[in-house]
Amino acid sequence: MSTRAWVAFASMSVLWGIPYLLIKVAVDDGVPPGFVAWIRVVLGAVVLLALAPRRGAVRALRGRLRWLAAFAVAEVVVPFPLIAYGEQHVSSSLTAILIASAPLFVALLALRFDADERVGGRRLAGLLIGLAGVVALVGIDVAGRPDELWGALAVLGAALGYAVGPMILKRHLSGLDARLSMGTSLALAAVFLAPAAAFDPPAAVPSGPALASLAALGLLCTAAAFVVYSRLVAEVGAGRALVITYVNPVVALALGVLILGERPGAGTIIGLVLILAGSWLSTDGRLPWRGRGGHGAPAVGPSQEHAREPSVDRVGSGE
């Protein structure tokens, strides 16, 4: 991985590690899951579309709207409400841990849809080690508790959506400016989620912490994060990009313990070590400044070679 990819990786690990805390604050305050998802994407869409280039926008979107809609459904419309619903029943840290199954869904889907993302060797070992870490963390925390089980299943459904989204992004939306593509996707998601928000609004004005959480979700964890994420996918491919889900639980777990007073199970330390090891191996076990030849050149794999094509570079160019 290149240095730029590692910077994007680190940024995403934080930006998508803190939403679980923010969502937990909002839903515990009584904000319905559908409304949490809707206000988040509205804020993100407004910011990104305001920053998106106007020149040639209509021409760029022509013929892409169906794929933008498909991406919006897979990456936003399905996962965001499911995560908010899940966090009504399980802790924020457990939610982040369950989302870590997304790379395994990518591996399964790649068997049919994307030969470039099929894993093997060290990357496969990393994914399996990461999954072992998830299992160690979760353990039997949800066993025998039907409400928590339903919450966990909802979060796993969100993880499946997170696996489908980047595959659509890579194959069909790689030629678009990141702000334009992500902003349009979020706008479409806002339209799709509007009925849920309208039929189940908050019963009262949310508290100050809940309002601050919703604002941070929209501006940081959605608007800023989606641009960085599109750059990461362009750099390393969908499978490696989703390895951030092996680091996100570390951030979410720390915040859950320090701020929400959550108490993880006994397998926490072992699980975290395995997740970090799996993340490292899944990116081919390289440091950002070391290439295949050991002379400082960034390592280039199939996904990265594809990412260097001009049409893909524009995704993360920021221009």
Is residue 301 over pLDDT 70? Answer: no
Mean pLDDT throughout 249-260? 86
Q: Which range has highest mean pLDDT (48-52, 118-122, 264-268)?
A: 48-52
Token code pair at residue 161: 């959506």
Vertex 222 angle, CA 218 and 224, to 5°: 105
* Cα–Cα distance list, 159 to 60, 108, 153, 156 (Å): 29, 13, 10, 5
Average pLDDT over residues 307-315: 32
Domain segments of the chain: what residues? 3-316
Is residue 269 over pLDDT 80?
no
User: Does residue 181 register a pLDDT over 90?
Assistant: no
Other beta carbons less than 10 A from residue 88's beta carbon = 16
Say yes or no to pLDDT of 125 above 90. no
The C-alpha atoms of residue 116 and residue 114 are separated, in whole angstroms, by 5
pLDDT number for residue 33: 94
Query: Does 291 have pLDDT greater than 60?
Result: no
Q: What is the mean pLDDT of residues 17-44?
A: 94
Question: How far apart (Å, rounded) are the C-alpha atoms in residues 270 and 279?
Answer: 14
In this predicted model, which residue has the larger pLDDT, 213 or 100?
213
* pLDDT, position 154: 93
Q: Which residues contact 141 (CB under 8 A, 6 or more apart)?
A: 94, 148, 265
How does pLDDT run across 157-167, given as a tens digit for each residue? 998 998 888 88
User: How far is it, in rounded angstroms, from Cα 47 to Cα 216?
Assistant: 12
Confidence of residue 306 (pLDDT cuts 50, 70, 90): very low
Q: How many CA atoms lie within 13 A of 153 on its CB side?
A: 7
Q: Give mean pLDDT, residues 99-104.
A: 77
**Distance (Å, whole) CA 64 – CA 279:** 33
Least confident among 31-35, 61-65, 69-73: 61-65
DSSP string spanning the chain? --HHHHHHHHHHHHHTTSHHHHHHHHHHTT--HHHHHHHHHHHHHHHHHHHS--TTHHHHHTTTHHHHHHHHIIIIITHHHHHHHHTTTS-HHHHHHHHTTHHHHHHHHHHHH-GGG---HHHHHHHHHHHHHHHHHHTTTTTT-HHHHHHHHHHHHHHHHHHHHHHHHHHHSTTS-HHHHHHHHHHHHHHHHHHHHHHS--SSPPPHHHHHHHHHHHIIIIIIHHHHHHHHHHHH-HHHHGGGGGTHHHHHHHHHHHHS-----TTHHHHHHHHHHHHHHHTTT--TT--TTSSSPPP--HHHHHHTSHHHHGGGS--
In the prediction, which pLDDT does 115 show? 67
- Minimum mean pLDDT among 91-100, 184-193, 272-281: which range? 272-281
Residue 106 has pLDDT above 80, yes or no: no
Q: What is the pTM of this model?
A: 0.76
**Largest pairwise CA distance in the chain:** 60
- Region 62-74: what's the mean pLDDT? 90
User: According to the model, what pLDDT value does residue 210 have?
Assistant: 95
pLDDT higher than threshold 60 for residue 311 = no
Residue 174 to residue 179: CA distance in whole angstroms: 12
Confidence class of residue 141 from pLDDT cuts 50, 70 and 90? Answer: low
Range 58-73 burial, b when 16+ CB lie within 10 A, else e: eebeeebeebbbbbbb
pLDDT at residue 260 greater than cutoff 60: yes
Residue 143 banded pLDDT, cuts 50, 70, 90 = low
Average pLDDT over residues 95-112: 77
Q: What is the pLDDT of residues 198-216, one digit of tens each?
A: 999 999 999 999 999 999 9
